[in-house]
Chain A
Amino acid sequence: MRRIEEVFRKLRKKGDGALIAYVTGGDPEPKWTAKIVEELIRNGADLVELGIPFSDPVADGPTIQAASTRALESGVTPRDVLHIAREVRERFSTPLVILTYYNPIFRMGVQKFFELAEECGIDGIVVPDLPIEEAKEYKKIAEAHSINTIFLAAPSTSSNRLQKIIKYSSGFLYLVALYGTTGARKDLQDSTVQLIGRLLSYTKGQINLAVGFGISKPSHVKTILESGADGVIVGSAFVKVIEENLDDQQQMLQKLGKLTKELKKATLKP
């Protein structure tokens, strides 16, 4: 249970931020995923978010939608993704977080899902279409299996609601940086910096704050961390590298490693 918090604590002590890297499990094929994740870890990812693909990813932009489609076409199942995580867990102690929509969990059965997740060494779960109002039972079961429940906060979240979300969250709070879906953006919005400022007064001393959606470049990472966040989540930028190198696995891994290094460097204390 403490693995995620431990990583944040160690980084904070050094004055660094956390780099959380997302890829979709099974993209482009299940047998590649463990290698991809390990490449991210070896090059500096502090946490890895592994996606269980869903047929109808409403919170995702075109890049992750395409990854979900590739992964589903490869035949990967929720169990497969959890088993891939276990493979990685056997070799690395890096925190592993599963990101998926609620239906694959609901379908497997919440109890069964968390049993399997615990068995596979998963540290936290993010479910973008599960708001706290629907998550009472879910949270109880997660806690019983020592798995962190990472909830999302958005620019539209009121302060009142934010406090409730913080109570439901463990590991870190996932702040959605902008109005919209996932996907790399050229520039960071000014409003994101203000948003982080508003949230910090609630999260400080309560929970780690990580920011995602639209973050793809070292300059974005620097700005986010300078604004006071504890970590950044980068997804579509990694997925894009996979998409652009589908025919050449060696090159894909190399480029993923390079991007990880660049982004990690931006999280270090200046």
Chain B
Amino acid sequence: MSLNPVNGKYGKYGGRFVPETLMAAIKELEESYIQIKEDPEFKIELEYYLSEYAGRPTPLYYAENLTRKVGGPKIYLKREDLLHGGAHKINNTLGQALLAKRLGKERVIAETGAGQHGVATAIACAALGLKAEIYMGSEDMERQALNVFRMRMLGAEVHPVDSGSRTLKDAINESFRDWTANVETTYYLIGSVVGSHPYPMMVRDFQSVIGKETREQIHKKEKKLPDALVACVGGGSNAIGIFYPFLGDEEVMLYGVEAGGSGISTGKHAASLCGGEEGVFHGMLTYVLQDSDGQIQTTHSISAGLDYPGVGPEHSLLKAEGRVKYATVNDDDAVQAFLELSRTEGIVPALEPSHAIAYSIELGKTMRKDQIIVVNLSGRGDKDVRTISNHLERGEKDEKD
């Protein structure tokens, strides 16, 4: 079982593969973080913002209608979609923004793909009086125009990134470049359990509040541990957040669901763990989607939040150890699950956790009625309504053709 990284490594994964200019900052960040996170004042402050501002704890909701429909185990939903901002992202941005403030940095930069982490960063920075600048691929800015407006309304500056594939990975590249130039004054607020050490550890720590609550809540409701936890994996922050407090409970099966896009065999997907190979990218050794020369490949998923060619290094270790089973769900099945949950429970999930819902429905068919599944419903689906309707229209058109 993986716990804290040794020398920045989870087994052989992780590390600090960054330009020399950033090494001092990364080591300083690690040292400060280890001190500050144990500081009672910091803990109280973070807890205050999480409960009073973001809306924690989130409910663990028994999805009775969906359970009946599947006809198998009890399905519970961890309702991270009810958080301020509409996703689990704020657990991390509040934590890191408070840390940035402690470190005396007034300027915060962040990357965003779909815009969820950008919005969560803009929110945290507005609340804490920090200046936020967000890098976003120009292609993503077109696809997620609404979130661009939201960030700007929240007072953040949004910088379009025109290099490379003009998506999330390029936004991360550009954030690294900015940080390299302004490392003395700027805090880089990474949105997932990726990047150089200590980011994967920090983001996991801030997100593991999801799993801690789930543990208490399920114990209260069912007087036992769940049989399975299911979460979607892009970079992997919501998954590690719910898994982490359960890693030692061998009887709890853990499932991480990656974006299968049009199907692994088509090459159009974003499943780094299921369809990639080991590589070094964005500061870490991990599973990466790459070609035979080590060039990073562009990804495809209907869900912009999973559209990333790497994955957190701790997931790579959990895969190697066999502690977590990683699988994929295709675009079409995720859309079906999106509709299914919306109709049966009146809950519109984001496209990202729709992958986890789809997997849970299938998994449920193989389990007994006295068993329990918890799905991490990491975000709400308002942002995806247009994508879904476009997808359905295209499907109808294809059928007519």
Decide if A103 touches B182 in the complex (CB within 8 Å). Answer: no
The residues of B that contact A131 with a CB separation of less than 8 Å are 16-18, 20, 23
CB < 8 Å: which of A62, A69, A181 contacts B181? A181
Which single residue of chain B is at the shortest CB-CB distance from A105? B294
Q: Which of B1-21 contact A (CB under 8 A)?
A: 7-8, 15-21
Decide if A179 touches B17 in the complex (CB within 8 Å). Answer: no
Q: Which of B30-38, B52-60, B277-285, B352-360 contacts A (4 or more CB under 8 A)?
A: B277-285
Would A102 and B20 be within 8 Å (CB), given that A107-B294, A179-B182, A179-B183 are in contact? no
Is A153 an interface position by the 8 A CB rule?
A: yes
Q: Which of B169-177, B250-258, B260-268 contacts A (4 or more CB under 8 A)?
A: B169-177
Q: How far is the CA of A110 from the CA of B283 in the complex (A)?
A: 18
Decide if B294 touches A104 in the complex (CB within 8 Å). Answer: yes
Decide if A179 touches B181 in the complex (CB within 8 Å). Answer: yes
The residues of A that contact B280 with a CB separation of less than 8 Å are 101-103, 106, 129
Q: Which of A102-156 contact B (CB under 8 A)?
A: 102-108, 128-131, 133-134, 151-156
The residues of B that contact A108 with a CB separation of less than 8 Å are 293-294
Q: How far is the CA of A90 from the CA of B8 in the complex (A)?
A: 43
- A50-93: CB near B (< 8 Å → 1, else 0) gives 00001111110110010001001000011000000000000000
Q: How far is the CA of A156 from the CA of B7 in the complex (A)?
A: 21
Is A233 an interface position by the 8 A CB rule?
A: no
Q: How far is the CA of A59 from the CA of B19 in the complex (A)?
A: 7
Interface centre among B25, B170, B184, B294 (most CB of A within 10 A): B294
The smallest C-beta distance from B198 to any residue of chain A, in angstroms, reads 14
Q: How far is the CA of A103 from the CA of B293 in the complex (A)?
A: 9
The residues of B that contact A180 with a CB separation of less than 8 Å are 21, 177, 180-181
The smallest C-beta distance from A8 to any residue of chain B, in angstroms, reads 21
Q: Which of B289-342 contact A (CB under 8 A)?
A: 290, 292-296
Would A152 and B20 be within 8 Å (CB), given that A56-B296, A103-B296, A104-B295 are in contact? yes
The residues of B that contact A61 with a CB separation of less than 8 Å are 177
Which single residue of chain B is at the shortest CB-CB distance from A181? B177
Which single residue of chain A is at the shortest CB-CB distance from B197? A133
Decide if A154 touches B17 in the complex (CB within 8 Å). Answer: no
Which single residue of chain A is at the shortest CB-CB distance from B174? A58
Which single residue of chain B is at the shortest CB-CB distance from A133? B16
- A17-56: CB near B (< 8 Å → 1, else 0) gives 0000000000000000000000000000000000000111
Would A129 and B19 be within 8 Å (CB), given that A103-B279, A179-B183, A181-B180 are in contact? yes
The residues of A that contact B65 with a CB separation of less than 8 Å are none
The residues of B that contact A57 with a CB separation of less than 8 Å are 173
Decide if A176 touches B20 in the complex (CB within 8 Å). Answer: yes
Decide if B169 touches A128 in the complex (CB within 8 Å). Answer: no
Is B164 an interface position by the 8 A CB rule?
A: yes
Would A56 and B164 be within 8 Å (CB), given that A77-B293, A134-B17, A152-B20 are in contact? yes
Decide if A106 touches B19 in the complex (CB within 8 Å). Answer: no
Decide if A155 touches B296 in the complex (CB within 8 Å). Answer: no
CB < 8 Å: which of B20, B24, B181, B295 contacts A55? B295
Is A158 an interface position by the 8 A CB rule?
A: yes
The smallest C-beta distance from B306 to any residue of chain A, in angstroms, reads 19
The residues of A that contact B180 with a CB separation of less than 8 Å are 58-59, 179-181
Q: Which of A142-180 contact B (CB under 8 A)?
A: 151-158, 161, 165, 176, 179-180
The smallest C-beta distance from B260 to any residue of chain A, in angstroms, reads 23
The residues of B that contact A176 with a CB separation of less than 8 Å are 19-21
The smallest C-beta distance from B371 to any residue of chain A, in angstroms, reads 42
Is B163 an interface position by the 8 A CB rule?
A: yes
Decide if A129 touches B18 in the complex (CB within 8 Å). Answer: yes
Decide if B24 touches A156 in the complex (CB within 8 Å). Answer: yes
The residues of B that contact A153 with a CB separation of less than 8 Å are 20
| Contact sample, A vs B, 12 pairs, CB 8 Å cutoff | A58-B176, A78-B293, A103-B281, A128-B19, A130-B17, A154-B23, A156-B23, A156-B25, A157-B23, A157-B24, A161-B24, A179-B183
Closest 8 CB pairs of A and B: A107-B294, A180-B181, A154-B21, A156-B24, A104-B294, A103-B294, A55-B295, A154-B20
